[in-house]
Amino acid sequence: MYPSYDVIVIGGGHAGCEAAHAAATLGSSVLLITMNMQTIAQMSCNPAMGGVAKGQIVREIDALGGMSGIVTDKSMIQFRMLNRSKGPAMWSPRAQSDRMVFAQEWRDTLEANLNVDIWQEMATEIVMEGDKITGVKTSLGVVFNTKSVVLTNGTFLNGLIHIGEKQFGGGRSGEHAAKGLTEQLVGLGFEAGRMKTGTPPRVDGRSLNWEKMQEQAGDENPEKFSYSDTTTTLTKQRSCFITYTSNAVHDVLKTGFDRSPMFNGRIQGLGPRYCPSIEDKINRFAERDRHQIFVEPEGWNTCEMYINGFSTSLPEDVQYKALRKIEGFENAKMFRPGYAIEYDFFPPTQLKSTLETKLVENLYFAGQINGTTGYEEAASQGLMAGINAHNKIKEKEAFILKRSEAYIGVLIDDLINKGTDEPYRMFTSRAEYRILLRQDNADIRLTQLGYDLGLASQDRFNAVEKKKKEIDNVVETLKETSIKVNHANPLLNERELQPLSQGIKANQFIKRPHVDINLTMEANPSLKEAFNGYGEKALEEAEILLKYENYIEKEQKLAEKLTTLESYKIPEGFDFKSITALSSESREKMTKVAPLTLGQASRISGVTPADVTILMVYLDKQKV
Amino acid sequence: MYPSYDVIVIGGGHAGCEAAHAAATLGSSVLLITMNMQTIAQMSCNPAMGGVAKGQIVREIDALGGMSGIVTDKSMIQFRMLNRSKGPAMWSPRAQSDRMVFAQEWRDTLEANLNVDIWQEMATEIVMEGDKITGVKTSLGVVFNTKSVVLTNGTFLNGLIHIGEKQFGGGRSGEHAAKGLTEQLVGLGFEAGRMKTGTPPRVDGRSLNWEKMQEQAGDENPEKFSYSDTTTTLTKQRSCFITYTSNAVHDVLKTGFDRSPMFNGRIQGLGPRYCPSIEDKINRFAERDRHQIFVEPEGWNTCEMYINGFSTSLPEDVQYKALRKIEGFENAKMFRPGYAIEYDFFPPTQLKSTLETKLVENLYFAGQINGTTGYEEAASQGLMAGINAHNKIKEKEAFILKRSEAYIGVLIDDLINKGTDEPYRMFTSRAEYRILLRQDNADIRLTQLGYDLGLASQDRFNAVEKKKKEIDNVVETLKETSIKVNHANPLLNERELQPLSQGIKANQFIKRPHVDINLTMEANPSLKEAFNGYGEKALEEAEILLKYENYIEKEQKLAEKLTTLESYKIPEGFDFKSITALSSESREKMTKVAPLTLGQASRISGVTPADVTILMVYLDKQKV
Ligand SMILES: Cc1cc2nc3c(=O)[nH]c(=O)nc-3n(C[C@H](O)[C@H](O)[C@H](O)COP(=O)(O)OP(=O)(O)OC[C@H]3O[C@@H](n4cnc5c(N)ncnc54)[C@H](O)[C@@H]3O)c2cc1C
Ligand SMILES: Cc1cc2nc3c(=O)[nH]c(=O)nc-3n(C[C@H](O)[C@H](O)[C@H](O)COP(=O)(O)OP(=O)(O)OC[C@H]3O[C@@H](n4cnc5c(N)ncnc54)[C@H](O)[C@@H]3O)c2cc1C
């Protein structure tokens, strides 16, 4: 009776929104089933997007034609480029958003997409005929037919909230937990596990003493996330503030340890090592007598403050007393205590690199349900699952990003091959090719791919083509242009930089420390003329390419090697057990993961280079 | 450990927001405890404020210094003055709001009030020492101390949602029901009852055929609710649309009757007779072959539509099929089905006219918990409870509005004396003095009172004083000014109105049908000069006062009579049983209600004029 869909996305979080938007934009008819239309794209924890390695992911989503970058730009209240003083591989954009506006913008985005329908209710069952997906059933018993399903349930599956010794069922504070789906999936043969994460108390900014804290303003010339010109940079920003815990704070917190669900074993799930609670921090780093706290506003006008760095599930009275020992928090009033939440996840080694499950065709998992943490990680998976769900039912090629192409490639490759024992978040250290995977060049890396898919617009494509041409011209021109001693040295002296002893080519000049493209152009004004009208970003990009030429080349070579391994395809259903030359451990692991390329096989944890060689020889033989 | 408060308000709905704002503005320290800070001032049902009799209440709230009018002005997307073609007692302002903006504005308003703290959690218990309130306890076990408590739980107390044969616990779709409080109050001796209300399905505007419906635009020159100049009128508006059900629609709906919770007795609570579900309507008015449906947008940008007139708790498949039979809805897609909700209320005869409970000192009930329905009814009770909670602990006089002063007076007087068997909503017919209680003069009626309380600002007070002076001048001047035949008749002829046979005074001229203040000024241009610079509203007001002079005077006399009855105070704790001359029924009812004036006694249902006379004689004797 109800309409039939190409793709049903369950869950309107960051993963679900990107999945629905991508599949629908590509032309699939999509139904987004979510518990509450008013919490679509709700930021469960702090209202910020990006940060180290995560900012790169947002740029990648944007370049491919996803919406997280645009939505962030439209809702941000502060923008900072982190790690500017380090190499460009580390530069990471981060924005503080207005929580309400962020959700509103996503909702508007989905409503503007005529292929997206929405149904507000809890999905409780995937309807199957034999081993084929035919629909989704809701708590009311409504059945919607579909060809494929993307599950993005976030922290909601059998969610259990802990504060001190109290426990409540719930998917987030004040919201219902999702029931039924885990049990059904386990019944179908899926392995499920339990993880946990936490959130800090929210505090009334009107009760804080800002004078005692250190102001952290946004960048003076803020950038933005999206490469598209549909958004603009901020002209007004809101500041965050920095303060610290102290031994006095820690002492109060410790009085709650015996009533803590983390320490008395009441929480079973695995927590994020890299985003620990404050009680974890003072426990694990007992030697440190203070930890940094960021006080971050939740929006343009609200006095609600997010206390970043103070995630906790201690009893609320302990939270309150400890908060008030923090510098500037002497009279702090809480709006609500922090809490921890435990939820079901599905070890992601059960997925193909398209995020389709190996067990059930046309069923995709994306986001926190795969054991990740973070909006950016979730959103990027949603995007990939949405694209692949669409491509598969339309009989198009699978869309897979290589580790050398994108952090998103690293993320998914890590998940499906290594799985994860704790909530997985992205770090630059997870990427072998991080000098290639920069925030500044995601458009150059990925827009073409997004455009070929039909997701990135013609405008975006044209803009990247133009930028590429300009970069090439700049690089070529610098190689051919000389910098003369008598022109350059006065400029270098002014800046107390090492003078030239003889004339050099501009592409060498720019490699010198503290020399940038602007100084180079000043040192030979003919360049200024040559690059007249060029985009600022193209000039910057050329500078990076030249300054880091050696690193980039090295990584590119490495990446090509990997691509060779990657091009060794392993046939689906390949019987790894039959290769007796492999160690029995490797045989088992390969059988479980079922890698589809030699590259993928090489990244399975425990698989040795020797195993890979054996496999390669075997595959070569078969080919003959 | 946590701060102590003068007033704790439980529930951040319309009643709770006004209560918290009023008590805090008057100087009390207030804590608002509400389940979810993101649903503060959520409009549970349609996103509209005002309407017949309700619009008058919003004006009254505004004149007293409450915020509902201002919040509505700041969030409205359409404004209409209903019943303009009828007499001014019937004129009723109504605004369609953007649901999200409405909630945001209320939240900003509360945050801007430094005396309002907020705690996000479920309140589960009122803490008492003996028969004295000392605090409120939450689900986590946190106790906040307080001198008084205002309960505004809305539809949340043991809320139970029905859709067809399905039932869920919940305070609103997707939200938790409130547990514990009813049971505690019943334990303390309160009588509790059960009521129900319903809401229509929400529909995707993108799936509707607007061509087949009738557009209903906002007023051409829209007004606004607030008398204050902090808000402005709309320059751009969004339209609503009108369509109709048909026999085909009704036939489909009937197929669900056997699975309807309303008809098969699964719902026990009393429903609103005046705001019936569509199944009620086709059942009760079997002879009608169509009912009007208003399709109302939920905000500036959203495609979510509220289907006003189609409230239902039939099974969702029946809702869906029936919707699609409506003209313009042939391809309608639902976002979510309609539902009915049952909840606990406390018969309001248990309250004093300050909304304090008779049983527990410093405990106040306001809003839907008192058996009313509607945002305006709730908000006005919240305002009154907030004011009285403050006044009582600060040992100031109780603040009570007379039936002749305000619809709010009528509302509370009805509730506490007559109680209610079904969800109570305001109608003009409930007011004896409705020509006095107009939407245009609420400022003149009430601003002084709000100002004396300390709630309405000096600016408002000055504006009203100025307006009053202008009105008086206009009225006096018109009485003294003549309209000449040769001036007036050309104007009257032009408009095809009855010409004058002889000159008359301007105050008589303006009483003629279709003659208004503007025409009167044209008929004697000296008036234009005299009223130069006067407010438009003052001129309008003077016109109404003169045009309806006789009616107004008649009602004023009646009101004065009542005031006489009202001035007969009955001492608190008076023993009605001792007056054996009263019928035993009257003695019992009076004992239960414990009226504090003869007027109040006269309005108890079942009390006869004879009983009142007996009581008056008895009281007179006592005085001597
Ligand atoms: C308390 C808390 C603390 C966190 N702390 C951090 C942190 O410190 N750092 C960090 O990086 N990340 C943190 N996160 C994680 C971050 O919020 C998530 O990684 C991210 O939101 C995941 O996105 P998602 O789309 O996978 O799921 P979510 O954002 O959780 O969205 C899931 C959506 O699915 C809906 N849904 C679920 N089940 C159903 C169903 N059966 N039917 C219909 N709808 C359903 C829900 O209503 C919701 O809209 C925290 C999350 C929580 C709850
Ligand atoms: C489904 C539905 C349909 C309706 N239909 C109509 C209609 O057709 N016409 C009409 O005029 N009116 C209708 N209403 C009624 C209208 O919404 C209410 O009259 C109005 O909202 C009542 O305001 P309130 O402030 O009393 O309560 P609500 O607006 O219900 O607010 C109650 C608040 O209290 C909070 N709360 C409750 N218990 C606790 C607790 N223990 N601890 C902390 N917080 C608590 C809730 O979270 C909520 O914020 C409908 C309501 C519902 C739910």
DSSP letters for B399-413: ----TTT-HHHHHHH
B569 versus A224: the higher-pLDDT residue is A224
Burial class of residue B228 (count of CB atoms within 10 Å of its CB; 0-12, 13-18, 19+)? buried
Mean pLDDT for A552-573 is 86
Q: How many CB pairs under 8 A join A and B?
A: 99
Question: Mean pLDDT over residues A218-229, rounded?
Answer: 96
Range list of β-strands (E), B262-338: 292-297, 304-308, 334-336
Q: For every residue of A602-620, which 3-state class applies, written as one string?
A: HCCCCCCHHHHHHHHHHHH
Atom number in ligand 2 closest to CA B374: 11
Average pLDDT over every residue of A278-285: 91
- What integer is the mean pLDDT of B61-71? 98
* Residue ranges of E strands in A339-439: 339-345, 363-365
* Amino acid in the structure at residue A354: T
Residue B414: is its pLDDT beyond 90? yes
Per-residue pLDDT averaged across A403-409, rounded? 95
The fraction of chain B above a pLDDT of 70, given in percent, is 100
CA A286 distance to own-chain centroid: 31
Residues B577 and B585 sit within 8 Å (Cβ to Cβ)? no
- Ligand 1 atom closest to A159 (CA): 53
Measured from the Cα of B181, ligand 2's closest atom is 41
In the structure encoding, which two tokens stand for residue B12, read together?
Answer: 């951040």
Report the length, in residues, of chain B: 624
- From CA B624, how far away is CA B622, in angstroms rounded? 5
CA angle B350, B383, B188 (to 5 degrees): 30
User: Mean pLDDT across chain B, nearest whole number?
Assistant: 94
Residue A558 beta carbon below 6 angstroms from any ligand 1 atom: no
pLDDT digits (tens, 9 = 90+) for B146-174: 999 999 999 999 999 999 999 999 999 88
List, as ranges, residues 298-327 from A with C-beta within 8 Å of B: 301-304, 316-317, 320-321
Instruction: Report how far residue A514's alpha carbon sits from residue A519's, in angstroms, rounded to the nearest whole number.
Output: 9
Res. B264: pLDDT tops 90: no
This model of the complex carries an ipTM of: 0.90
Q: What are residue A68's phi and psi, to 5 degrees?
A: -60, -35
Q: Which two tokens stand for residue B52?
A: 């017949």
A498-507: pLDDT as tens digits:
999 999 999 9
B165 in A contact zone (CB under 8 Å): no
Cβ atoms of residues B279 and B253 within 8 Å:
yes
Residue B310 has a pLDDT of 97
Q: To the nearest 10°, the Cα dihedral for B97, B98, B103, B106?
A: -50
Residues A95-120 pLDDT 10s? 999 999 999 999 999 999 999 999 99
Q: Report CB contact under 8 Å: B163, A174.
A: no
DSSP state, residue A597: B
Q: How confident is the model at residue A624 (pLDDT cuts 50, 70, 90)?
A: low
- State both tokens at B155: 């539809």
Residue nearest to atom 34 of ligand 2 (CA): B11
Number of H helices, E strands in chain B: 21, 22
pLDDT band at B562 (very low <50, low <70, confident <90, very high): confident
What pLDDT score was predicted for residue B42?
95
Answer yes or no: is pLDDT of A205 > 90. yes
CB atoms within 10 A of CB B553: 11
Contacts of A155 (CB under 8 A, 6+ apart): A44, A171, A172, A197, A341, A343, A368
Give residue A584's pLDDT.
83
Decide if A333 and B104 are in contact by the 8 Å CB cutoff: no
Confidence of residue B584 (pLDDT cuts 50, 70, 90): confident
pLDDT value of residue A112: 97
Q: Convert the pLDDT of each residue in B293-337 to its tens digit.
A: 999 999 999 999 999 999 999 999 999 999 999 999 999 999 999
Looking at residues A583-588, what average pLDDT do you find?
85
Q: pLDDT at position B206, please? A: 97
Q: Could you give the 3-state DSSP secondary structure of residue A174? A: coil
Mean pLDDT in residue range A3-11: 97
Provide the percentage of residues in chain A whose pLDDT is more than 90. Answer: 81
Mean pLDDT in residue range B380-391 = 98
pLDDT value at residue A28: 98
Reading the block at residue B206, the tokens are 């993108």
From residue B230, alpha-carbon distances to A420, A507, B501 in Å are: 56, 61, 47
State yes or no: pLDDT of B375 exceeds 70. Answer: yes
B336 → closest Cβ in A119, A173, A302: A119
pLDDT of residue B624: 55
Distance of alpha carbon A453 from alpha carbon A447, whole angstroms: 10
Strand order in the sheet with B334-336: B214-216, B240-244, B292-297, B304-308, B202-204, B334-336
Q: Would you state the pLDDT for residue A563?
A: 80
Query: Which residues in chain A touch residue B337, judged by CB atoms under 8 angstroms apart?
Result: 140
Tens digits of residue pLDDT in B207-225: 999 999 999 999 999 999 9
Q: According to the model, what pLDDT value does residue A512 have? A: 93
Ligand 2 centre and the CA of B368: distance in Å?
6
* Cβ burial, residue B594 (10 Å; 0-12/13-18/19+): middle
The SS3 assignment for B344 reads strand
The answer to whether A111 contacts B303, with C-beta atoms less than 8 Å apart, is: yes
Taking the CA of B38 as reference, the closest ligand is 2
Instruction: Tell me if A166 and B140 make a contact (CB, 8 A cut-off).
Output: yes
The candidate with the shortest Cα–Cα distance to A77, out of A105, A39, A111, A52, is A105
What count of other Cβ atoms lies within 10 Å of the Cβ of residue B395?
6
Whether residue A64 contacts residue A50, with contact meaning beta carbons closer than 8 Å, is answered with no
User: What's the mean pLDDT in B250-266?
Assistant: 89
Contact B114 A302 (CB under 8 A): no
Name the least confident of A165-179, A182-196, B292-306.
Answer: A165-179
Angle made by CA atoms B252, B258, B264, in degrees to the nearest 5: 135
CA angle, A235 then A240 then A241, to 5°: 145
Any residues with CB less than 8 A from the CB of A102 and at least 6 apart, and which? A41, A43, A47, A71, A72, A75
* Chain A stretch 120-149, residues whose beta carbon is closer than 8 A to a beta carbon of chain B: 120-121, 139-142
Angle CA A565–A569–A571, to nearest 5: 150
Sheet holding A240-244, edge to edge: A214-216, A240-244, A292-297, A304-308, A202-204, A334-336
In angstroms, what is the span from residue B450 Cα to ligand 2's centroid? 26
Average pLDDT score over residue span B59-68: 98
User: pLDDT value at position A384?
Assistant: 98
